[in-house]
Chain A
């Protein structure tokens, strides 16, 4: 059974700080997803990556397939980044999800 663990569960930061959220999983995968869920509930796909690093604006996602670990970084964090960030990996053709990291960025 593939397990997905995220850390930390909750994170509070001051505006402008550099944020790192971690995700570990237990079996080999072909790709990993990072998702963002805002307080209203809607989920947006941020990244799907299978190796190395991807960057989109202030967001950077990295993955180390050998270590079964991925990180999501946010540079120059802003209150509008406050959301739950979810890591997901494929398992038997579907996605399984971590519990999410709740990020709160204070002005």
Chain B
């Protein structure tokens, strides 16, 4: 059981759809992350938020739009995605940003773009 939840767990969407992924952490952490995991590839960091402020954006296409309304919630808004965006999207949180902190992961959202 983790303190990080993600919804939905599975999502199938067409390339013209707009959808949102939601992440919630119940750990009192100050930092939250979005990762993308494609088949046969390592986890790729997409976005980092610290105290609701975006501190890192790893050159992610604009069709992915993050939102962090407070330190417990993180969204990833999706629009006009491509089939190659199909992947597992993982949310994580940590007490702060930086090396000494462990990250706690959610169960992920399995996204399929048709």
- Give the size range of A's interface with the partner: 20 to 34
- Among A4, A35, A95, the most chain B Cβ lie within 10 Å of the Cβ of A95
Inter-chain contact B43/A97, CB cutoff 8 Å = yes
Quick check: is A86 within 8 A (CB to CB) of the other chain?
Answer: yes
Task: State how many angstroms separate the Cβ of A29 from the closest Cβ of chain B.
Answer: 7
Question: Total number of A-B contacts with CB less than 8 angstroms?
Answer: 57
Tell me if A31 and B43 are in contact (CB < 8 A).
no
CB within 8 Å for A93 and B99 given contacts A42-B107, A43-B90, A43-B105: yes
Are B102 and A33 in contact, with the CB atoms below 8 A? yes
Contact B88 A97 (CB under 8 A): no
Interface flag for B103 (CB, 8 Å): yes
Interface residues on B, range: 20 to 34
User: Contact between A45 and B102 (Cβ–Cβ < 8 Å)?
Assistant: yes
* Chain A binding surface SS class: strand
CB-nearest residue of chain A to B50: A93
Contact code string B38-64 (vs A, CB < 8 Å = 1, else 0): 001111010010000000100000000
Contact of A48 with B102 at beta-carbon distance under 8 Å, contacts A94-B56, A95-B45, A97-B42 already known: yes
Say which residue of B48, B88, B98, B102 sits within 8 Å of A41 (CB atoms): B88
Tell me which residues across on chain A come within 8 A of B90, comparing CB atoms: 41, 43
Q: Do the beta carbons of B110 and A94 come within 8 Å of each other? A: no
* Most-contacted residue by chain A among B41, B45, B88, B103 (CB, 10 A): B103
Distance between Cα atoms of A68 and B2 in the complex (Å)? 30
Q: Known: A94-B48, A94-B56, A95-B45. Contact between A44 and B2, CB under 8 A?
A: yes
Assess whether B41 is in contact with A31, with CB atoms less than 8 Å apart. no
Sampled A-B contacts (19; CB under 8 Å): A4-B42, A29-B99, A30-B99, A31-B99, A33-B102, A33-B103, A35-B105, A41-B90, A42-B106, A48-B102, A90-B98, A90-B99, A93-B56, A94-B45, A94-B48, A97-B42, A97-B43, A99-B41, A100-B42
